[in-house]
Structure 1
């Protein structure tokens, strides 16, 4: 069973990111337009508030993050709290917002969108690379699970509503997709719904499963291996962090449920080692 890392009850906790330089966990409450960060369970979180929904981030350097919002991608200085616009993200579509996202091994940043009311096929998955935003996957209902295989051959992603974890083959030189996506883990017959994922240093996929109070571990072939129980039913996204990258964190949501610990952020020690999150490389503009 996981322990509570932070007792803040997020309406929709998401986007956990362990910053390798700062050695602290960042995460979001999407629906309250807030970002949190802290180093240890004993600390109170530092809170950053925005004027629109924010959902995911990648690190650029010690003090600057790339953050995805419902209207754009922007750079954010943690010291000055100043934003610098990078590129629009479905800015003119008032029905969608950003959701899951992650930096890739080539310095790019992948970000998924979805309908604010989970409208079918309203979202998409994009890649921001070398100053340009490219559409990768269209007609996504709830974009999630963006992460990368340790051999850099695949990007994994899920559409939570369709209950599959997919993968798409990547060009080893620049990370661009070179084939159509395919089903990697088929959960269509399960009562669980795949939310966010992270890949550890052995190639295992750790998947938070919405509505099931758990994080599930699948091996690099897609076989289920174990589960970690969580004291909240709506687990949303895992991350590895800590000094040795062996601590598993997971966010959760209290949206629509009444549970003692729903919306809290959790952690536990594991026998596995995660991967350091990739740095986002920003092209001079």
Structure 2
């Protein structure tokens, strides 16, 4: 374990905080609470708690489109949200004919397409998948997953990463940098089977290190492009879920967390459960690309 400076960014507790993103133009952080159907907006340079927007759907991921709109990955599809008034319009359906699944982890590839995972609402084995969405064209990439997570991309867009948290193997796959589509089969990047906690969300820094949240183990891990775990940073909530780089210099990690599945005794023993953090890990990140509506 290598300690880092950690502070509570927002004291609100998320049942299942996920899908954070950062807008440098307005110095604003965004994230969601999936089951509670809430979208959080926090202007980092201003005092006060995050503004909470009620959503009509369970959303799992927030991404930029432009200065007026953002993309929400939700239980039945991808939605365009107008920031000024919160209006939603369906961009494209995603497993909308299967009420037993919902979206989970997602990231935008440098080419402007999004990779988005789906899973069973009760994490039923094999119900999950990962899709590539370019504009409104949906392509299923990987199936028979349980809890797809850890979606991230190398700085040059030539490598994709993902994990099935239930299995515990972080995988890499060669990609076409121009499209974000795989050009080969997934390979093992790091085998975490048998280790404490489960690999959850991920973000890649400017040097290519893959930073992941380890749900249930109260820490973040950094993996090298060669597949070695090179650093572990403890954080207060035992169930961190997803990091993203934030701040004007993109030099710290915003980390969401959850209290999903915790009983009263576990919550009492974990005083920062469900809170959103700032973690100064001493790395500079990359801004997540904007989603391209037209492909």
Q: TM-score range by the shorter chain?
A: over 0.9
Structure 2 unpaired stretches of 5+: none
Structure 1 unpaired stretches of 5+: none
Cα offset, 1:271, TM superposition: 1.9
Q: Deviations over 1:149-191 (max 9, x none)?
A: 1122111011000001111111133221111111111111312
Cα offset, 1:256, TM superposition: 2.5
**Structure 2 residue corresponding to 1:12, chosen from 7, 13, 16:** 16
**Structure 1 residue corresponding to 2:26, chosen from 22, 26, 29:** 22
**Structure 2 residue corresponding to 1:239, chosen from 244, 248, 254:** 244
Cα distance between partner residues in 2 of 1:239 and 1:174: 22
Cα distance between partner residues in 1 of 2:133 and 2:26: 24
**Runs of 4+ residues over 6 Å off in structure 1:** none
Stretch deviating more after TM superposition (4-13 or 144-153): 144-153
Q: Is the 8 A contact 2:255 2:277 kept in 1?
A: yes
Cα offset, 1:192, TM superposition: 2.6
Cα distance between partner residues in 2 of 1:168 and 1:93: 28
Cα distance between partner residues in 2 of 1:100 and 1:186: 20
How many residues align? The count is 284
Cα distance between partner residues in 2 of 1:86 and 1:256: 32
Could you tell me which residue of structure 1 aligns to residue 272 of structure 2? 261
Verify: 1:152 aligned to 2:157, yes or no. yes
Could you tell me which residue of structure 2 aligns to residue 76 of structure 1? 81
Could you tell me which residue of structure 2 aligns to residue 140 of structure 1? 145
Q: Is the 8 A contact 2:120 2:128 kept in 1?
A: yes
Could you tell me which residue of structure 2 aligns to residue 85 of structure 1? 90
Stretch deviating more after TM superposition (166-175 or 257-266): 166-175
Q: Is the 8 A contact 1:22 1:62 kept in 2?
A: no
1:27-176 map, 5 Å: 27-40=31-44, 42-176=47-181
Cα distance between partner residues in 1 of 2:33 and 2:104: 11
Counterpart of 2:35 in 1: which secondary structure? helix
Verify: 1:213 aligned to 2:203, yes or no. no
Q: CA RMSD in A?
A: 1.3
Cα distance between partner residues in 2 of 1:268 and 1:159: 25
Cα offset, 1:21, TM superposition: 2.3
Q: Is the 8 A contact 2:65 2:291 kept in 1?
A: yes
Verify: 1:271 aligned to 2:278, yes or no. no
Verify: 1:184 aligned to 2:195, yes or no. no
- TM-score, normalization by structure 1: 0.96
Counterpart of 2:166 in 1: which secondary structure? helix
Stretch deviating more after TM superposition (75-84 or 36-45): 36-45
Q: Deviations over 1:72-117 (max 9, x none)?
A: 1010001111111111111111111000011110011110011110
Counterpart of 2:39 in 1: which secondary structure? strand
Q: Deviations over 1:205-232 (max 9, x none)?
A: 1010010000111122121111221111
Cα distance between partner residues in 1 of 2:176 and 2:115: 15
Cα distance between partner residues in 2 of 1:173 and 1:78: 29
Cα offset, 1:268, TM superposition: 2.3
